[in-house]
Amino acid sequence: MARHPYRRLRPAKSGFPEVGISEEGNIRSLHLGSDTIQSSMNLDRPSELVLSYSRAMMGWLLFAEHLPQHITQIGLGGGSFARWIDNYLPDTRQTAVDINPQVIAIARNLFELPFEGEKFEIIEADGAEYIKVFRHNTDVILVDGFDGEQIIDALVEEPFFRDCRNALSSDGIFVTNWWSGDKRYQRFIERLLNVFEGRVLELPAESHGNVAVMAFQSSPKEQNIDKLKKRAEKLGGQYGLDFNRMLAGLKASNPNNGKHFHL
């Protein structure tokens, strides 16, 4: 794993995990203080979502009645979501928030981020604090905040979920990446259910125990599984992601009567 050469210029007390880069074939990956891959980019197709958890985190599109005007990402990582959204949702404005200046610098230099301007901005800040600036004016919040070992505590607390709910527009959707093997996982789910009044769905990623957990500001208008199947077919063609698999995963992991979800 290549080390970022300027690490030694940072004071040791910064408290952020060291950022590393690895490359295998045409896949470049970002690491935070461990060999766990945080983010990956296909050098030949930069907008592709390489990691299965990142694909699962796009499952919210099944329930979106309108394309979002604004998406907030907490945790920039290697910019996978930024590149995908820029390519597939070109009219959507996006703000990516990351607390670690080294991650931001490396993402800018080595991960082909979209042009920073009107449509895309990067904020160096604590995402749990920054989300408080929104008042019902962001449509989707994507949270992917790991420190190399586990999820950051501030991003799984009820006050944060409440702040996210206050930030979301009337049909807004909160999406987070959690690790099902975390012994606190069920506690996180209960907090989210509490804040979003039961409107929560779990979508397991294809591999590695990651789960994309979605919470809805208001009940999704379409919860009929047959109609969602038709939507999944259409979206798969549009976005090149396996929405049929996502819908099957949602059906297997959440209460429904075979015809309908209950949110």
Q: Where are the beta strands (DSSP E) in the chain?
A: 2-3, 19-24, 27-32, 37-42, 70-74, 93-98, 120-124, 138-143, 168-179, 200-204, 210-216
Check 144, 163, 226, 242 and give the catalytic one: 144
Q: Is there a catalytic annotation at residue 144?
A: yes
- Spatial distance between the Cα atoms of 189 and 193, rounded to a whole number of angstroms: 6
* Amino acid (1-letter code) at residue 148: G
Residue 35 per-residue DSSP state: S
What residues form DSSP beta bridges with 133?
Answer: none
Q: Answer for the pair 35, 76: CB distance below 8 angstroms, yes or no.
A: no
Catalytic residues: 144
